[in-house]
Structure 1
Amino acid sequence: MQQETRKIQITQDTRVSSVFALPDGYPSSRDTAVILAHGAGNGMDHPFISHFHRAFAEAGLLSVKFNFPYMESGRKAPDRMPLLETTWRAVIRAVREDSEWAPRHLYLAGKSMGGRVASHVVSQGEACSGLIFLGYPLHPARQADRRRVAHWSGLSCPVLFVQGTRDALCDLNILESELPKIQSGAALHIIEGGDHSFKTPKSSGKSAEDIWTDVNSAIVSWVKKITDGES
């Protein structure tokens, strides 16, 4: 696996860091890529993001992770939604327009906020092969009536939700009741006992690495199924 760090221009005055992980043997017959966005509280170098970034590449997928501008500059408060969306679009463009590595099939993935922003970009017309939510923030904690689903009817690609049963930001019963809004199809991978960060009680006997490995296997299988259907 080869890794390359790049700066991506977001606006005239803003650039962010990204890391392209090129799997051995790429490009292959599938030429498939996954772009991975971090959540609100941690950047692209957090162990959670780095694990999936590396694991996707080891599974044969071109894997790209990046920082949002606020994280790049060391600020704690996330950027406003328009800049977050602009960042996603700029990274997508950088991957699609790469003269050597441009994929035929592109998936957008994100932890919490990163996935939510990707879904807004897709609902506004950005094309991709599929969306992968690593803990979708369906509603604020203890405010299940404030559901972030108004744009779901505009999604035009298959969607995979990876959710824990103890996620304070996603009541699974509510999620399942809202899934029909996604007319392009939605799959759900459940982590028993998992919270918003996929952590499970010690009694589960599973380490973070165990859980992440299981989740990665589910994601790669889903991506292969969708990609084979497109080919």
Structure 2
Amino acid sequence: MSDRTPVHSAPAATVRGMAATTPETTPYDDDGVVAEVSRPPGDSIGVAVLAHGAGGDRHAVILRAVAGELCARGLVVARIDLPYRQRRPKGPPSPSTAAADRDGIVAACAALRGESTGPLIVGGHSYGGRQASMAVAENPDLADGLLLTSYPLHPPGKPDRLRTEHLPSITVPTVIVHGSTDPFATTDELTAAVALIPAATRVVELEKVGHNLNPDRKPTATLTADAVVEVLLGRGR
């Protein structure tokens, strides 16, 4: 089952801000898992483990924005550094170490699942989301839901090199947040790819937004959290 939520421009006044109560955020560094963990002030309703894009780290703007909104809704959120980023502070990942990055995501899920008795959601931005989706396809018990922001469906300008082989093996509910001008996937390309996932899905599309999803100027984080709560946690609006 799939549905799509197109998002048009929204006046700044209509964009909900984060909760007035600032969540507690503390560093985590143990057994190869490096993260910033944000915890809501009250009881948590779940855990989200989010990985960064190829050029970023756990402090990426998009991760911080989404983590703030999810934490405001009651989730414990861990923004992790992938293993390749732990090895060096800058530079892109190597295809030869992608499996190790997936292992890092699996390790983070195992280490942080105990933060809540609620569902565990895994995902991330671009490369981090792609590796999370592959980890979920390889191990269906890894998480209860998948969150992908700016899924890199193909390299820019190379639509023939689709990264879809593992999508039919994803069996958990999935939310994909997509910018309509993202060079890594057109809306039509992404819609066709998402149809390969045999689980409940939702695509949240932001118009006139590119790969970075512009969370400092668009309601990206709020709309992402709305979809997570409704689709991945089953709590409605």
Same fold (TM over 0.5): yes
Q: Which amino acid aligns with 2:110?
A: R
Within the candidate set 42, 53, 67, 1:53 is matched to 67
Report what 1:209 is aligned to: 216
Report what 1:4 is aligned to: 26
> Are residues 1:113 and 2:130 paired?
no
1:46 & 1:228 partners in 2: Cα distance?
A: 28
CA displacement at 1:59 relative to structure 2: 2.2
Within the candidate set 27, 32, 39, 1:22 is matched to 39
> After the TM superposition, which residues 213-228 of structure 1 pair with which residues of structure 2 at under 5 Å, given as runs?
214-226=219-231, 227-228=233-234
- CA distance change for structure 1 residues 166 and 228 in 2, over 3 Å: closer, same or farther? closer
> After the TM superposition, which residues 95-174 of structure 1 pair with which residues of structure 2 at under 5 Å, given as runs?
95-96=112-113, 98=114, 101-127=115-141, 128-174=143-189
CA displacement at 1:16 relative to structure 2: 4.1
Deviates more, 1:173-182 or 1:33-42: 173-182
2:212 & 2:69 partners in 1: Cα distance?
A: 17
Report what 2:209 is aligned to: 194
Does the residue aligned with 1:210 lie in a helix, a strand or coil?
coil
2:180 & 2:79 partners in 1: Cα distance?
A: 27
Report what 1:66 is aligned to: 80
Offset from partner CA, 1:102-156 (integer Å, 9 cap, x none): 3321111210000000000100124222111110000011000110001000001
CA displacement at 1:195 relative to structure 2: 0.8
How big is the alpha-carbon RMSD for the aligned residues of Structure 1 and Structure 2?
1.8
Unaligned runs of 5+ in 1: 10-14, 200-207
2:104 & 2:173 partners in 1: Cα distance?
A: 22
Offset from partner CA, 1:23-56 (integer Å, 9 cap, x none): 01123xxx21111110000111122222222222
Deviates more, 1:103-112 or 1:46-55: 46-55
1:16 & 1:94 partners in 2: Cα distance?
A: 8
Deviates more, 1:82-91 or 1:51-60: 51-60
TM-score, length basis structure 2: 0.82
Unaligned runs of 5+ in 2: 1-22
> Are residues 1:89 and 2:106 paired?
yes
1:39 & 1:162 partners in 2: Cα distance?
A: 14
Deviates more, 1:69-78 or 1:175-184: 69-78
Percent identity between matched residues is 22
Does the residue aligned with 1:228 lie in a helix, a strand or coil?
coil
Offset from partner CA, 1:165-198 (integer Å, 9 cap, x none): 1111112111112222111022111110111112
C-alpha contact (below 8 Å) 1:8/1:18 kept by paired residues: no
